[in-house]
Amino acid sequence: MNKLQVVMLGSVLAMGVSGPAQAFDFKKLTDSANEAVDSASQQANDSMDQASQAMDSSVAVSGEAQVLVDSLSTDLGVTQQQAAGGAGALLAMAQNNLSADQFSGILSQVPGLDSLLGGGEGGGLAGSMLGNISSLEGVTKVFSSLGLSPDMIAQFAPKILGFLGGEGVAGTVLDSLSGLWGVSAPAE
């Protein structure tokens, strides 16, 4: 039963209980139902706006990770939020699939990279959302929620690999990431 039906049923029952002598005012009933639906819709929109603002404010990129985000944004024509979110999704997948030693090696080579995963001061929401990504399907969902085509993964991944290589991440780790993300490793 949808909300409109529930509101209408409740209104009809309320009129029936309140007195047998009252006339049925269909216009008043539909106006009341429309107001209830509009109110519920507005509340849902407000909640989505608050969640979006929380996500925006929770991703505070720091260190060399900001250089990566700037590069992705400029080179791929995406917003800073899309760049940070897309890179964070791919890195979260890496974190959940690489060995702990491999991933900590990446983090130690690139200061601030953990900020893309929700680490550091603004972690909370971003960290909990990205922590569950273990496959390209999860990355695709994040890209879609950011307004990015899933095809963009194939553009993000080589850029991130190139950046990590430039920061001194070992070739064997880059090869693992390349296989994980389904793209060719950059030439050394």
CB contact burial 14-46 (16+ within 10 A = b; e otherwise): ebeeeeeeeeeeeeebeebbeebeeeeeeeeee
pLDDT of the chain along its 188 residues, tens only? 565 555 455 555 555 555 555 556 667 767 776 776 676 556 644 444 443 444 444 457 888 899 999 999 999 999 999 999 999 999 999 999 999 999 999 999 998 998 898 765 444 444 455 667 889 999 999 999 999 999 999 999 999 999 999 999 999 999 999 999 998 866 55
Residue 135 gets which letter from DSSP?
S
Distance from chain centroid for Cα 71: 20
Beta carbons of 174 and 102 less than 8 angstroms apart: no
Which residue is associated with the tokens 């990566």? 68
In this predicted model, what pLDDT tens digit does every residue of 113-157 receive, in sequence order?
Answer: 988 987 654 444 444 556 678 899 999 999 999 999 999 999 999
Is CATH 1.10.287 correct for 64-181?
no
pTM of structure: 0.65
CB count in 10 Å sphere of residue 132: 10
Strand spans (E) along 12-125: none
Residue 123 gets which letter from DSSP?
-
Sign of the Cα pseudo-torsion (60, 100, 150, 49, in order) = negative
Contacts of 39 (CB under 8 A, 6+ apart): none
Q: What CA–CA distance (Å, rounded) separates 102 from 21? A: 78
Q: What CA–CA distance (Å, rounded) separates 44 from 10? A: 21
